[in-house]
Every structure is written in C-alpha cells, then in structure tokens.
Amino acid sequence: MSKKVFISYSHRDEDHREDFGDHLSMMQRNGVIECWHDRKIHVSDDWKNEIDQNLESADIIIFLVSPSFLASEYCFDVEVKRAMERQKEGTAQIISIVVRPCDWEDCEFSKFQAAPKDAKPITRWEDRDEAWLNVVQSIKKHINEFKPKLEIQTGIEVLTGPSQENLEWLSDTEIVLTHRRVDRVLLEGIFVVPDVELESTNDLVNIKSANYMLNHMGHYLISGEEQQGKTSLLKYIYRSSLKKGYLPVYINAPEVKKASVEEEIKKRLGSQYVNLDYDTFLSHKEIMVLVDNIDEIGLNKKFKSAFLDQLNKITQFTFVTCHSSYSYISGDIPSLDEHERVELLGLGNKKREELIQKWISLGVEESIEEKELYSKCDELKNNLNTVIKKNIVPPKPIYVLMLLQMFEANSKLDLELTSFGHCYQQLIYQSFDNANISKQDFDKYLNVLTELAWKIFTSQEELNLSQIDIFFKKYNEVYLPVKREKVLKKLIEHAVLRDNGLTVGFKYPYIYYFFVGKKIAESYSENLETRDQFEELLKKLHREDFANILIFITHHTKEPWVLKNIKTVLQTLFEQQDEARLDKKQLSFMDDFMKSIPELIVEQREIQKERDEQNENLDRIERSTEIEESEPLDILASINKTFKGMEVAGQIIRNRHATLTRQAMEDLAKVSASAGLRFLDYFIKINDAAKNEILKLISAQLAEHPNLSNKEIEKEAENVYLHLTYGVINAFTRKIASSIGSKDALEVYRQVDKRAGTPAFNLIRQAIELQFNKSIDIDQISECVKSLHGNEVCLRILKEMIIQHIYLFPVDYKEKQQLSELLCISVQGQRWMDMKKAGKG
C-alpha cells in the first residue's frame, strides 16, 4: 500500500518544492507514495481544513527547512507542532530536508533524521540533482522501515494497527486496471465517494454523498446492483473510520458458515490487525462492523437473524451491503429493522468528472496544469457520455474505468470501425470472458444474442419461458444447435441477460440496442422484413429506443443507405419552413428589449465550482426526467425527431470522420443544422402569431400581484415573453452545435458557415469551436463580432457563450482584457482569480 507524504514548506521555496516533486515522480508513478502539499488546494476549498485533513492522514511528514520555513508562523506553530505530536504517537514520521542554510539545530525536530547527507543544504551542493537523489534514497529507506501505528484507547496501553495484508486489500481495486503513467493503480488514487439515495417518508428524492453515513454514524443497509461499487465503498468507510479513531472489522458474508459473531470476528481480527485480540477489540470505545453481501450469507433465515442480532448488540455502528433486489425483502428480517436503508447510485455527471480528473492526474498530480486537465477531462467526458448516454451503459465505476482504459488504448487498437462500437463490443467480450466462454465460441454466442434481440424487437416485448423454448427450437432448426440451458445460464449469471422469473430480456439497454443494430446492419440489403423495420425506426425517430438503435446501426455498417435515409428524414422535418437566419431583420422585434436588459459582466467565479454546479444541474435534470411512453402529438414528434435526428447525424460525424469524404460530412452537417434552424424559424413565427394569447396568459399570472398597476403588468408581461423567446433562440442554437459538433471536423463546420453566411450558422460554428476545441481564438471571435455588428440578439448570445467558457476553463488575464475590449464586457475584479493562492509566505 502506498504511503501518504505531506510536504510542509514556505512558498518562498516553491522552486525547491518543484525540484523535489520531479525527483519523487518515479516513486509516485510506481504507487510507492502519494504526495500532498498546499498547492493542490483549489481556490474554492477551505484551505485550513484541507491542510489539517491531509496532515492528519499522512504517514510521512517532510519539512523543507529554510530561513523562510522557520520564520513562517503557520509552518512552525501549526504544522510542525501537530507533526511532532503524531511522531510521538507513532502514527507518522518526520523527515527534515535542509534546502537553504539556516539556524535550525536548536529546533525540537532537529533530533530526527535529516537529509541530504550530513544535513548539508541543497543549495550548497555543486550538483543539485545529486543532492535530491541523496534525499530520495533516504526517503525510500524511511518508507520501507516505518510502519504507522494506531493507538487504541482501551484502558491499557496497547499499540496495534492494520496488518500489511489488510492495507494491501484496502488499496486493491480488485479489477485489472492499467495506466500508462503508473505501474499499479491503487483504489485510493481513483476512488470517488458515490452518492446514495436515503429512504424517504414522502415523495421527495433525498440524495446525499455517501459521506453522510460517516457523519451520521449508525446502522445502515446499503443496496446496489452487482459491480456497483459496494465493496469499494466499504473499503473507503474502513479507511476513513480508522483515521477518525474507530476500529472497523470487515466480514464478507458468503464466507460466514456459523452464526457466532465472536468466532467470525476473531478470524478477521487475526488477518486484519497486528496484535489485537477479541477482548481488546470489544473494550474499544468505538468499534464498527462492515458486512458485505448479506444476501449471500451461508446461513438460513433463523440463524441469519441471530447473527445480525448479535452484531447489533456489540456495536452501534454497522454498514451492511446487499443487492438491490434483496432490499425489498429485507423487511422480513427483524434484525435489519433499525438499519437505515440507502441505495447506492451510479456515477452522475459530477462524479464522472471527478473520476476522470483523478484518472488523468495519475502520476502527474503535481505538474499537470488546469487548462490541460480540464481540456482532457471534457474530451474524455464527451466520449464517455456518448457511450453511457442516458444509462444505455450503466454509469457504474467499473464501466467508467473500463471505458477510460479503452479510450487511452484506442490508438493502439486495430479497429475495423472508427466508431465507439468497439467499446460496446469490448464490454460484451469482457462479459463473455467473465463467463469463461472460450474465444472460439464467441461467434456462436454473438449470433444467439443477435437473433434473440431481433425477436424481442419485432415482438416489442421480452419473452416468457414458453416463448424462450420456441425461440431456441427455431434457432436450432436454422443454425447449428446450441444448448439452451448452458447458454442461458452463462448469459444470465454474467449480466448479459436477465430472468425476472416471468420473462427473459437483456440486462442493460446497450446490449439490446447493440444486437438489434447488428441484425439490421447485417441483413438490410437482403431481407425485406429488416428494411421494413428500419423504415419504422425512421418514422418513429422521436422515440428514445429507436433513435438509440439507429445510432448503433451506424456503429455496425459504413454502407451509404444509412446516411442517405437519415438525411432524407432530416430534410422532411419542418420542410415548409425557411431556415432561421437570425439576422437583424428577423429579430428586429426584440431590439427594444435587448436595449433594456442589463449589460453583461464577467463575475468573480471559480472554475471548479462552476463546473460542479453545471454537473449538479445536469444530474438534477437527468434524475427528474421520466420516459414518456405515450405517443406524442404530431408537432411534438416532429420536434423530437429534429433533436434525435441531429444527434444521430452528429454521432456519424464524430464516429466516422476518418472515413467519410469531406463533402459527405459537409452535406450531413448542413442538412442537420438546417433541420434545427427550420424548427427555430417555425418557433419564432408561431410564437409571434400567438403573442397576444401568450401575453394574456402571462398577464393573468402577474395580476395576482396587487402592487402592480395595469401598465406595469403589461410591460412586465412583454418582458417575460421576450425573455422566454430569447432563451429558446439561445438554447436551441447551442443545442444544434452540441448535437452535430466534433473536434475532428472543425474544418467542415467552418466551410459550412462560410457557404451559408448567416448569423445563425456563424453562432453555431462559434459554439462548436468553444465546446469542442476548448480554446479562445481572438481572431475568430473578432471576425464573428464584425459579422454580427448591429445584431444585438446574436451578439448577446455570443457574449454569453464566451463568458461561460471563461467560467469553465482557465483563460489568462491578457486574453480576458482583449475579450473585454472586443465584446465591451467588464472583467474588473477578475485578476484576483488568477493570482489568489492559498499559502504561507
């Protein structure tokens, strides 16, 4: 298990800290140590709390000793004082590195080992690299020799601590993870504290961080699907509770064969701790028991209850995990009645970003710049969202990590397709490997799943057991026979299929969509039924499942019929409308309104906080969105088709940019954007036609406020109406960009914009540049401002795009000044964001 290193230093020695970090990079890359210093504190963090927490959890505490360090009140009075206490407790070890000559021999910590050799200051060495090498060799020796201890207050002084075997287990991810910058990926390096949904007495959803349980200790029953991260969460709780002074013990329920809590805990204490017996464990003030997979315990109902009753008697703190389905019947076990139910949730947008940032930072935590971090993060996040896409692939940590590895290795793969199809295929192959299906049988299983998916798709329902029997009977008549029981058993046990007792279907949507798309792609040219079903997909493109199947078809084939049919659908949407140009003439009705609203300014915002808030909003939207089963009205279907059609077209551009001709991509981008702009034209015209009715409706709502006069109500209603209209124009312009945009096809969008020559296309292209290129191009923005001169609506949208980019990505102060002059927006008060750093002089 890696040891945590806390580096205490004066910021006047920042250059020495950076040199030191370079020399420690190999130890970090190999997972030997994990370094922390206060330059890792984000502006939005509580810096004192961050320092205290990391000082408290460190195994090795390093002082970079210099005159500035000795003069710093915070370093000396806070960090040195607590480090000395922890050295005496045996929970941490101090190492002093003398970086500059100073009078430090009379300091209390001078009695401990110092580096480099003979405590000769780094600046006095002829070769500073040699000095730092000497320091690193000394640190390696200390790390190998030092074993941090946990003091247990039991009335008698007993020193004990987690065993090496236990520490290794706590750091083990339990899946094979490879990363190009570290030899071994440790759990603490990538673990993200998940969200949980607490049991609620009303209809309101109560979602908290899993840290809620650590801050409100008690009895908890944590449910989640397989591979949801239940065991990793218990490891996190175990580590965190150790640091807080609790004494936890972990029990894997399937290994429990007797209902004796004492016997089971004694077994675990022997392997999880050094020098800790059962009586000493019980005498500790705050003991904790973690029980994993209670639904798989090797006891019957009677003895299961007896076992849990005993646990509840010896401790007030238990964390018990089970499969989601078990939580519904756990009420039949009285011993679990006092356990608060919580459901472990998948990784939402915010948590996925946190995990991606940790993955990107592995091995380069101290050197990676924010701009590079956020740019790489968004690129990976966009790729992830393409694959996960509204739970097509479940947002479980294991899937996210597997996909991150795939994206990293993508350039090394010999792929037939240039799409993300290989990701879905790799996930399916991974399931086959887990089921011990031999490579030579892969094709057989793939074919069974393809035909089964097609049967479910054409039936529009999952198959009951009788229908499953008929399916396999017919399958064996057409193809070489397979053993029904063997095939179903392997696929159900390893989460490819699921059997709910009544019907058999696919465990996750992505597997179903993948195989339906595969069937259509492979048999379209020769099978009339397939072509008819494909036509049905196009007619009902507004349906989420049909749109997703279409996207999967584009993964499976490069044949031109897919592109041709999708373009035809897009061309027929709102075909009676003109494309919205968004020029001054079309938007002249908003002129007075635009003059009356306040000017934009760049407010004081912190980038990570802004990104967190944006992701939290996305999570709220996704969690509150319910799938509409009923068929929508024709106009709503057409609107939805426009959205879905643009998304499918964007998928094709992003996935096949390397094989599509420039002209084919340009045509597809133009057709897609045009469909969106025809809808926008429809909206503007229908909105104008219904203006009086909308104003009456808004006025009726405002009339409930007795303080407003009739004239004020009329004016306010007009403002609300125009604000809503502006909001739709703004949002839909960006929606077109996010749907069809691609980093690899920026040249294509520039050409489309050049040929179209309208403010609408100008905004779409600029939105794509900002969203997918992640950088500010002053010259491009300057050209855009010139082309939009006098068009206050479009200029306002452009300004909002750029301000949002400044909030989400690092932009240096000089660029902000240039943008301020170009866009006439104030950036006063921003300099503090670029200069403010938590630190010590």
**Phi/psi-derived region of residue 462, left when phi > 0, alpha when psi is between -120 and 50, beta in every other case:** beta
Average pLDDT over residues 665-669: 93
Percent above pLDDT 90 for the chain? 40
Report the DSSP beta bridge partners of residue 150.
160
Structure tokens belonging to residue 69 = 């360090």
DSSP 8-state secondary structure symbol assigned to residue 826: B
Average pLDDT over residues 4-31: 84
Query: For residue 156, what pLDDT is reported?
Result: 35
Query: For residue 828, what pLDDT is reported?
Result: 53
Average pLDDT of every residue of the chain: 85
Percent above pLDDT 70 for the chain? 91
Q: How far apart are CA 381 and CA 404, in angstroms?
A: 9
- Asked whether the CA dihedral 486, 491, 493, 494 is positive or negative, the reply is positive
Interval 783-804: pLDDT, tens: 999 999 999 999 999 999 999 9
Contact in structure between 266 and 307 (CB atoms under 8 Å): no
Q: Picking from 17-31, 62-76, 267-281, 433-447, which range would have the lowest pLDDT averaged per residue? A: 17-31
Query: For residue 415, what pLDDT is reported?
Result: 37
3 state DSSP class of 383: helix
Task: Return the exposure string of 805-832: e unless at least 16 CB atoms fall within 10 Å of the residue's CB, then b.
Answer: bbbbbbbeeeebebbbebbebebeebee
Q: How far apart are CA 41 and CA 48, in angstroms?
A: 10
Side chain identity at 44, as an amino acid letter?
Answer: S
Query: For residue 153, what pLDDT is reported?
Result: 41
3 state DSSP class of 523: helix
Antiparallel, parallel or unpaired: β 503-506 and 463-464: antiparallel
Return the HEC string of 157-225.
EEEEEECHHHHHHHHCCCCCCCECCECCCCHHHHCCCCEEEECCCCCCCEEEECHHHHHCCCEEEEEEC
Q: Picking from 72-81, 413-422, 738-747, 762-771, which range would have the lowest pLDDT averaged per residue? A: 413-422
Which one has a higher pLDDT value, 468 or 774?
468
Q: How far is CA 518 from CA 91, 114, 403, 550, 705, in A?
A: 58, 65, 21, 10, 59
Query: For residue 424, what pLDDT is reported?
Result: 82
Flag whether pLDDT at 519 surpasses 70. yes
Query: For residue 147, what pLDDT is reported?
Result: 66
Give the model's confidence band at 830: pLDDT under 50 very low, under 70 low, under 90 confident, else very high: very low
Which one has a higher pLDDT value, 825 or 202?
825
Antiparallel, parallel or unpaired: β 114-115 and 60-65: unpaired
Q: How far apart are CA 21 and CA 364, in angstroms?
A: 10
Question: What do you get for the CA distance between the two ends of the chain, in Å?
Answer: 34
CA-based max dimension of the chain: 91
Task: Return the exposure string of 474-509: e unless at least 16 CB atoms fall within 10 Å of the residue's CB, then b.
Answer: ebeeeeeebebeebbebbeebbbbebeeeebbbbbb
Query: For residue 417, what pLDDT is reported?
Result: 35
Structure tokens belonging to residue 408 = 């990293």
Q: How far apart are CA 377 and CA 349, in angstroms?
A: 12
Contact in structure between 754 and 786 (CB atoms under 8 Å): no
Q: Picking from 67-81, 148-162, 352-366, which range would have the lowest pLDDT averaged per residue? A: 148-162
Query: For residue 46, what pLDDT is reported?
Result: 57
Structure tokens belonging to residue 243 = 């640091």
Interval 697-733: pLDDT, tens: 888 877 777 777 888 888 888 888 889 999 999 999 9
Structure tokens belonging to residue 758 = 């309208």
Query: For residue 42, what pLDDT is reported?
Result: 55
What are the two backbone dihedrals, phi and then psi, of residue 19, each rounded to the nearest 5 degrees? -60, -45
Residue matched to tokens 């238990």: 318
List the strands of the sheet with 150-153, edge to edge. 150-153, 157-162, 273-274
Q: Picking from 252-266, 526-540, 758-772, 814-828, which range would have the lowest pLDDT averaged per residue? A: 814-828
Q: How far is CA 75 from CA 4, 64, 65, 82, 110, in A?
A: 19, 10, 10, 10, 15
Q: What is the DSSP string of 653-679?
A: HHHHTTTS-HHHHHHHHHHHHHHHHHH
Give the model's confidence band at 347: pLDDT under 50 very low, under 70 low, under 90 confident, else very high: very high
Residue matched to tokens 């009677």: 302
Contact in structure between 580 and 586 (CB atoms under 8 Å): yes
Please enumerate, as own/partner, the contacts of 50-55 that have beta carbons within 8 Å and a separation of 24 or more: 50/838, 51/78, 51/79, 54/4, 54/6, 55/6, 55/8, 55/79, 55/82, 55/83
Q: How far apart are CA 552 and CA 557, in angstroms?
A: 9
Flag whether pLDDT at 159 surpasses 60. no
3 state DSSP class of 579: coil
- Asked whether the CA dihedral 672, 678, 680, 682 is positive or negative, the reply is negative
Average pLDDT over residues 340-364: 92
Beta-carbon neighbour count of residue 197 at 10 Å? Answer: 16
Flag whether pLDDT at 69 surpasses 80. yes
What are the two backbone dihedrals, phi and then psi, of residue 162, each rounded to the nearest 5 degrees? -60, 145
Side chain identity at 317, as an amino acid letter?
Answer: F
Give me the count of residues in the chain: 841
Side chain identity at 328, as an amino acid letter?
Answer: Y
DSSP 8-state secondary structure symbol assigned to residue 345: P
Beta-carbon neighbour count of residue 602 at 10 Å? Answer: 22
Q: How far is CA 224 from CA 200, 350, 431, 511, 658, in A?
A: 17, 19, 19, 20, 40
Tell me the HSE value of 664 on the side-chain side, using a 13 A CA sphere: 18
Report the DSSP beta bridge partners of residue 209.
195
Structure tokens belonging to residue 222 = 């944590």
Q: How far is CA 365 from the centre of its chain?
A: 18
Find which of 74-78, 549-553, 633-637, 679-683 is predicted with most confidence, using mean pLDDT.
Answer: 679-683
- Asked whether the CA dihedral 300, 303, 306, 310 is positive or negative, the reply is negative
If you compute the radius of gyration of the chain from its CA atoms, what whole number of angstroms results?
31
Give the model's confidence band at 503: pLDDT under 50 very low, under 70 low, under 90 confident, else very high: very high
Q: Where are the alpha helices (DSSP H) in 435-464?
A: 442-459
Average pLDDT over residues 419-438: 82
Side chain identity at 174, as an amino acid letter?
Answer: E
Interval 271-280: pLDDT, tens: 999 888 999 9
Extract the runs of DSSP E, i.e. beta strands, from 719-836. Answer: none
Q: How far is CA 97 from the centre of its chain?
A: 39
Query: For residue 530, what pLDDT is reported?
Result: 92
Interval 215-246: pLDDT, tens: 899 999 999 988 899 999 999 999 999 888 89
Report the DSSP beta bridge partners of residue 811.
none
Flag whether pLDDT at 365 surpasses 60. yes
Structure tokens belonging to residue 322 = 């089970």
Contact in structure between 508 and 501 (CB atoms under 8 Å): no
Exposed/middle/buried for 193, CB within 10 Å: 0-12, 13-18, 19+? middle
